[in-house]
Homo-oligomer: A and B are copies of this chain.
Amino acid sequence: MNAEPLASWRDGKIKSAIVRFVERITAPGGPDFLPPADRVATFDNDGTLWCERPLQAQLYFAHDRLEKLAAADPSLRERESFRACLDVDVPAIKRLGKQGIFEAIAAAHAGITQDAFDTLARDWINSAQNPKLGRRFRDLAYGPQLELLAYLRAHDFRIFVVSAGGTDLMRSFSEEVYGIPRANIIGSYMKTRVEQCDGVTQLIKLAELGCFNDREAKPQSIDVMVGRRPILAFGNSDGDLAMLRYTVSGEGPRLALLLHHDDAEREFAYDRDFVVSPLAEALDRAAELGIHVVSMKHDWSGVFADPT
């Protein structure tokens, strides 16, 4: 273990709460000791592990994919969800909602194999840049969070990403950037059908939603894919509230954290008014529910990690 494993976390109530919690559940023979199998931690992705402004990377991915598809078939522009993405029309995106946009864009990829989609996602994530910050999306992971992931791993936690973002896109970088295996990515996805193509079994994307993994769907998908109530969860929006409550209301030691983007200088300052994923109810009820609010401005000495 590094002498200073959480170097980018400033000393204070939050850092102490994290360290005390981990020490408590890992102290051999201690009253709150938990074996590694029980050390499940779940993290939201957009706005929790990496930057989600001006809009989530998922929406820029949709935009760039649609530009390619619309070049071949201009009639796609006529569909409101596609037009909203192509024009990055924020009020229209808000009206359609995260799920509406996800379903529409995903449906545009019906007929493609999972293998081919994975290649598309990898190519995109390795080149696409955040339009405001002038860095690749994959280089906008938060340094303090990567330290926290490493710290938890060093204490034998099993870490899962639980996000409304598309599973496929997250899997295209999760191992390289977060050190989190593809199997530990729990996101939104479309159904597939099985087809034999030249003797090879392929999974073909359908235009039918499998799961939109937001709000109440988060504890549900954790139950299906992890089979254990987390002991630690970290989010940043109302979409994470159900997961944070599921975590913190279990028996024994629990830690729920909510990242508050209050740092206009180093990143962005936003909460209630963010069009796609507001933070309002979770912020208002954090104290009552025992959720720790992390201030990006005060609790983090740095924001972005060095590019990988």
Residue positions of A touching B, CB distance < 8 A = 37, 40, 114, 158, 160, 167, 171, 175, 181-185, 189, 191-194, 196, 199-201, 203, 210, 216, 219-220, 223-228, 242, 245-246, 249-250
Contact = CB atoms under 8 A, between A and B. Distances in A.
Contacts of A185: 227
Contact of A223 (B114, B184, B216): B114
Contact of A227 (B40, B167, B199, B224): B167
22 contacts: A37-B181, A37-B182, A40-B183, A114-B223, A158-B183, A167-B224, A167-B227, A182-B228, A183-B225, A183-B228, A192-B220, A192-B223, A193-B216, A194-B219, A194-B220, A194-B242, A196-B245, A200-B249, A201-B219, A201-B245, A201-B246, A203-B223
A114 to B, nearest CB: 6
Q: Which of A196, A227, A246, A249 has the most CB of B within 10 A?
A: A227
B242 A201 contact: yes
Interface of A (DSSP majority class):
mixed
A174 to B, nearest CB: 9
A201 B215 CA distance: 13
A220 B203 contact: yes
Given A183-B183, A194-B216, 11 more contacts: A40-B183, A167-B224, A182-B228, A183-B226, A183-B227, A193-B216, A194-B242, A200-B249, A201-B219, A201-B245, A203-B220
A196 to B, nearest CB: 8
A183 to B, nearest CB: 5
Contact of A226 (B182, B191, B227): B182
Contacts of A160: 183
Nearest to A227: B182
A169 to B, nearest CB: 12
A246 B196 CA distance: 9
B210 A191 contact: no
B203 A219 contact: yes
A189 B196 CA distance: 27
Contacts of A227: 167, 171, 182-183, 185
Contacts of A194: 216, 219-220, 242, 246
A189 B37 CA distance: 22
Contacts of A219: 194, 201, 203
A302 to B, nearest CB: 28
